[in-house]
Amino acid sequence: MSTLNADLHCHSVISDGTLTPEVLAERAKRQGVELWALTDHDEIGGQARAMVAARQQQLPYLTGTEISVSFAGKTVHIVGLGFDVDSEVLRGGLAQTRSGRDQRAQEMADQLARVGIRDAYEGALKYAGNPDLISRTHFARFLVEAGVCHDTPEVFRRYLIEGKPGFVPHRWASLKDAVRWIVESQGVAVIAHPGRYGFTDNEEFALFSVFKAHGGQAVEVVTGSHSPAEYVTYASLAIEFGLAASRGSDFHSPQESHTDLGALPWLPGHLTPVWDLLAHRVH
Ligand code: AMP
Ligand code: MN
Ligand code: MN
Ligand code: MN
């Protein structure tokens, strides 16, 4: 086992989490996290705050983000860790990735209006701490508030997913570009929660192969999104593809997330922890 309590995946109000970077840093420390990264969706606007807050907590910190990518007809997430926050290539790439979100959100609201749910755009925007980053999570919170659903899991069964009202297909970054932005910024690219995509074996093989070919170096094995059986599956794939392994809760909110910061099993011992590749990038 690698018994470092690293949590290298979570979200703040800068994307779709409900806590500020400062409160997350305190919570991570309290939870026993020993190496932390804030990985807001398509945004690094919270990195300076997270870094200062982590330093105040004497909590070692790696820079982070989670980039939305379109691959084989699905949305895949690529986490970047340990990059240079001043990188123009990364900043430009993320700005471009964020740019379609507002239009998409208006189209989502138009669809919801057609099934009788009014003013969802305004309702979702109220929950968005960063108006540049309106996401399905903010719509989910609005739909719960409006009494349409009991909780966010119910929202993601009945709305906002393919084939249901409020789903708008979207073209995100390419896998090649997302990995390149991270690598050119001195970071390490990580396939986030591969167990969540519902790919066939062939599609998954293609994802790992193309990711690796473009310079990707790691995969999340122990994550709040995986079952224990998936820890085993993705530990094997990490070995097969020569990838390092990451560990992260994907914590969004005390009310919504079932895995708290740092509250995860250890990374299996036969894997190379991604933090072994990033020792020189720790703040
Ligand atoms: P977006 O980037 O706007 O497509 O929103 C994606 C976000 O929605 C994810 O990062 C999750 O936070 C949330 N999400 C997606 N699927 C689910 C689900 N089944 N249950 C809860 N949250 C989900
Ligand atoms: Mn999210
Ligand atoms: Mn994700
Ligand atoms: Mn995430």
CA distances from 206 to 56, 66, 210, 211, 213 (A): 42, 20, 6, 8, 10
Residue 134: inside a domain, yes or no? yes
Query: Would you state the pLDDT for residue 273?
Result: 98
Q: Determine whether the shortest distance from the Cβ of 252 to ligand 1 is under 6 A.
A: yes
List residues, by chain if needed, whose CB lies under 5 Å from ion ligand 3. 77, 192
Buried b (16+ CB within 10 A) or exposed e, 147-169: ebbeebeebbeebbeeeebbebe
Structural domain ending residue among the three candidates 135, 158, 181: 158
Q: List, edge to edge, every strand of the sheet that includes 244-248.
A: 64-71, 74-81, 188-191, 218-223, 244-248
Is 166 part of any domain? no
CA of 220 to the centre of ligand 3 (A): 11
Do 275 and 139 share a domain, yes or no? Answer: no
pLDDT of residue 166: 98
In the prediction, which pLDDT does 73 show?
A: 95
Do 272 and 188 have their domain in common? Answer: yes
Which of helix, strand or coil describes residue 240?
Answer: helix
The residue range of the domain holding 211 is 6-98+171-281
pLDDT digits (tens, 9 = 90+) for 237-280: 999 999 999 999 999 999 999 999 999 999 998 999 999 999 99
The domain tally of the chain equals: 2
**DSSP category for residue 196:** G
Tell me if 169 CB under 6 Å of ligand 1: no
User: Is 16 near ligand 1, meaning CB less than 6 Å away?
Assistant: yes
Q: Specify if 31 maps to a domain.
A: yes
Cβ neighbours for 202, distance < 8 A, ≥ 6 positions apart: none
Best mutation site among 74, 135, 139, 171 for ligand 1 pocket (most ligand atoms within 8 Å of CB): 135
pLDDT at 61: 99
Distance CA 259, CA 253 (A): 10
Q: Are residues 197 and 233 in the same domain?
A: yes
44 and 87, same domain (yes or no): yes
Task: Report the C-alpha gap between 242 and 225 in whole angstroms.
Answer: 22
- Taking CA atoms only, the protein residue closest to ligand 1 atom 16 is 156
| 189-235 tens-digit pLDDT | 999 999 999 999 999 999 999 999 999 999 999 999 999 999 999 99
CA distances from 54 to 29, 49, 91 (A): 8, 8, 22
User: Is residue 165 domain-resident?
Assistant: no
pLDDT tens sequence across 64-96: 999 999 999 999 999 999 999 999 999 999 999
Q: From the CA of 165, how far away is ligand 4's center (Å)?
A: 23
> Do 185 and 257 fall within a single domain?
yes
Task: Establish if 1 belongs to a structural domain.
Answer: no
Q: Please say whether the beta carbons of 168 and 110 come within 8 A.
A: no
Looking at the fold, whether 127 and 266 belong to one and the same domain comes out as no
Query: Are 217 and 176 in a shared domain?
Result: yes
Q: Are strands 218-223 and 35-36 parallel, antiparallel or unpaired?
A: unpaired
Token couple for 153: 């899991």
The pLDDT assigned to 269 comes to: 87
Our answer on whether the CB atom of 137 is closer than 6 Å to any ligand 1 atom is: yes
Confidence check: pLDDT of 122 > 90: yes
| Segment 109-130 mean pLDDT | 98
**Do residues 198 and 91 share a domain?**
yes
Examine residue 82 and state whether it is found in any structural domain, yes or no.
yes
CATH of the domain at 123: 1.10.150.650
What does residue 172 show for φ and ψ, rounded to 5 degrees? Answer: -90, -160
Q: Are residues 38 and 126 in the same domain?
A: no
Ligand 1 touching residue 98 (CB < 6 A):
no
Q: Kindly state the percentage of the chain with pLDDT values over 70.
A: 100
My answer on whether 59 and 84 are in the same domain is yes
Q: What pLDDT is attached to residue 1?
A: 84
Q: Are residues 196 and 254 in the same domain?
A: yes
Tokens of 113: 């209006």
Q: Answer yes or no: is 164 within a domain.
A: no
What ligand has the least distance to the C-alpha of 78? 3
Q: Is the CB of 41 under 6 A from ligand 1?
A: yes
CA angle 186, 192, 198 (to 5 degrees): 145
128-153 residue pLDDT tens: 999 999 999 999 999 999 999 999 99
The total number of residues shown for the chain amounts to: 283
Domain with 248 in it: what CATH number?
Answer: 3.20.20.140
**Residue 141 in contact with ligand 1 by CB distance below 6 A:** no
For the Cβ of 15 lying below 6 angstroms from any atom of ligand 1, the answer is: no
Predicted structure pTM score: 0.98
**256 neighbors 11 (Cβ within 8 angstroms):** no
In a domain, 218, yes or no: yes
Domain boundary among 137, 158, 179: 158
Nearest CA to ligand 1 atom 17: 156
Same domain, 33 and 78: yes
